[in-house]
Amino acid sequence: MTSRLALVDRPRPQLREHALLHGFGTLADAELLALVIGTGAEGESAASIAVRLLSEAGGLEGLARRSGQTLALGRGIGAAKATRILAALELGKRALVAALDEEREPILSFDAVVDWARPRLATLPHEEVWLLTLDGRNGLLGAARVAQGGLHGCALTPRDVLRPALREGGSAIVLIHNHPSGDPSPSLEDVHMTEALAVACEVVGVELLDHVVVARGGASSLREMGAVAGGR
């Protein structure tokens, strides 16, 4: 794991690019703070200011306890940077409170998946593929459209599916797509794609619970057909 107080003198554009490509969770506290600070001052880089500020405050917890006035008087900070720092810390607090208070919709069965999917997808004139990302208790972490096509389907790779699931930190997924024809029977391409996705999920440690097809004429489960093994 990256050192929480690491000093990395990468240029800010390079640091931003790294964060966007690999995730902000890969950055140390000082690197994140350097992004918030933005620019250096008085011959000192933003990264150096961030490391010094965290050291003086005793870490993020101490920094969050500082008043805006106290922070603004610090060397290399000023009112504008102090405001950005405290605003970022407040956003973090609010996000944590919201996450703790959130009651995630449970996806516990094939019927629950169908209830979620049919009102959204069954009558669309084109095909869409959606991913439900679940936590360890099958609570819904997020829903994302991972592909959209015309009347005759859309191309999709396991990487397209797994990218949002890994970003959400999910432990399991359910794949869903619709058939504009009205027939929910899975095609041979649906089966092959599901089997490839199941292999990829096993490699990265994310459980594929099901691949559900919905249409005006009903719904079908590729897990029941044997294309998805196991399940909770």
Structure token pair of residue 75: 């060397």
pLDDT-derived band at 2, boundaries 50, 70, 90: very low
Residue 4 domain-assigned (yes or no): no
Mean pLDDT of 50-72: 90
Residue 3 domain-assigned (yes or no): no
- Note down the domain range covering 38: 12-101
The 8 Å CB, 24+ separation contacts for 27-33 are 27/2, 28/2, 28/3, 28/4, 29/4, 29/5, 29/54, 29/59, 29/60, 30/4, 30/5, 30/6, 30/54, 31/2, 31/6, 33/63, 33/85
Rg from Cα positions in the chain: 23
Taking 70 as the threshold, does the pLDDT of residue 6 lie above it? no
Q: Could you tell me if 77 and 154 lie in one domain?
A: no
Q: Could you tell me if 156 and 80 lie in one domain?
A: no
Residue 2 domain-assigned (yes or no): no
pLDDT-derived band at 148, boundaries 50, 70, 90: confident
User: Concatenated DSSP letters for the chain?
Assistant: ---TT------HHHHHHHHHHH-GGGS-HHHHHHHHH-S-BTTB-HHHHHHHHHHHHTSHHHHHHS-HHHHHTSTTTHHHHHHHHHHHHHHHHHHHHHHHH--PPB--SHHHHHHHHHHHHTT-SS-EEEEEEE-TTSBEEEEEEEEE-BTTB----HHHHHHHHHHHT-SEEEEEEE-TTS--PPPHHHHHHHHHHHHHHHHHT-EEEEEEEEETTEEEEHHHHTSS----
Which residue among 101, 129, 144 closes a domain?
101
How confident is the model over 88-136, as pLDDT tens digits?
998 988 877 666 555 667 888 999 999 999 999 998 888 999 999 999 8
Count of domains in the chain? 2
Which residue among 51, 66, 101 closes a domain?
101
Taking 80 as the threshold, does the pLDDT of residue 20 lie above it? yes
How confident is the model over 72-99, as pLDDT tens digits?
998 899 999 999 999 999 898 887 766 6
How confident is the model over 157-210, as pLDDT tens digits?
899 899 999 988 999 999 999 999 999 999 999 999 999 999 999 999 999 999
Which residue among 77, 101, 125 closes a domain?
101
Q: Could you tell me if 131 and 61 lie in one domain?
A: no
User: What pLDDT is attached to residue 18?
Assistant: 82
Taking 80 as the threshold, does the pLDDT of residue 5 lie above it? no
Q: Could you tell me if 130 and 173 lie in one domain?
A: yes
User: What pLDDT is attached to residue 61?
Assistant: 85
Put simply, whether the predicted model's pTM sits higher than 0.75 gets the answer no
